[in-house]
Amino acid sequence: MFTGLIEAKGHLQGRVARGRGAKLTIACPFADLVLGESIAVSGVCLTVAEIGAGTFVADASEETLARTTLGAVALGGAVNLERALPAGGRLGGHIVSGHVDGVGALVRTAAIGQATSMTFSFPKALARFIAEKGSIAVSGISLTVNRVDDATFDVAIIPHTETETTLASLRPGDAVNLEVDMLARYVERMLRVGGGDATAGDGPWTELLRKSGYL
């Protein structure tokens, strides 16, 4: 598990094909990595398979390369890095699994005082999971949704987040990994499997969804 609070920016140093997957070498500032630990790379949970001088190597499957932005990162390209949340650690963002739900894209940016408003598009299938004032992970970064419609959502980026992550380098059309709020994902699954209708009646699940901003 992760929190969506980025610890450092790294860079893709190498990519070697392994079948339809790839062996990725990431340059990073972490000095005490352990083989087998999990690291979120721009929101994608990867396992440390090798450790080098200022680098680690992780295997990315065909599925990961096809369904996230990792397959398109150029050599030297920046990535957001976060190590797994330790037991007893502070949960400063929100619970992030590192399992990407879809790929969106930056639509536009606008200055709002000292902060920056960023508008992202998202796949239609994720619309039911994105709510105003809810949480979403954008390339591994925990953010709060300020506005959402059928195709886009807005977030406000404070200067620290813009400086310490890859967000400042994004241009309109650039792709980002999206992970929806875990609560929304599981509530939707329970309703679907149970045959419930989230929009009908006044049951407990309907009330929970209404309070959380999903209805």
1 located within any domain: no
What pLDDT does 204 receive? 61
Residue 112 lies in a domain: yes
Is the residue at 97 inside a domain? Answer: no
Say whether both 110 and 208 belong to one domain. yes
- Provide the residue-wise pLDDT of the chain in tens; the chain has 215 residues: 899 999 999 999 999 999 999 999 999 999 899 999 999 999 999 999 999 999 999 999 999 999 999 999 999 999 999 999 887 787 788 889 999 999 999 999 999 999 999 999 999 999 999 999 999 999 999 999 999 999 999 999 999 999 999 999 999 999 999 999 988 777 777 777 765 555 555 556 566 666 666 56
**Residue 70: phi, psi to the nearest 5?**
-60, -30
* 2 φψ region: left (φ > 0), alpha (ψ -120 to 50), beta (else): beta
Q: What is the dihedral of CA 101, 102, 108, 109, to 10 degrees?
A: 30
**Residues 65, 112 within the same domain:** no
Domain tally, the chain: 2
**Is 2 domain-assigned?**
no
> How many residues are present in the chain?
215
Instruction: Look at residue 141 and give its three-state secondary structure.
Output: strand
Q: What is the DSSP string of 66-93?
A: HHSSGGGPPTT-EEEEEEPPPTT----S
Q: Are residues 34 and 118 in the same domain?
A: no
In three-state secondary structure terms, 14 is strand
The verdict on residue 127 lying in a domain is yes
Could you tell me the two tokens for 70?
């990792």
Residue 91 lies in a domain: no
Domain boundaries, position 157:
102-212
Is residue 166 located within the same domain as residue 139?
yes
Q: Is residue 96 in a domain?
A: no
pLDDT value of residue 86: 83
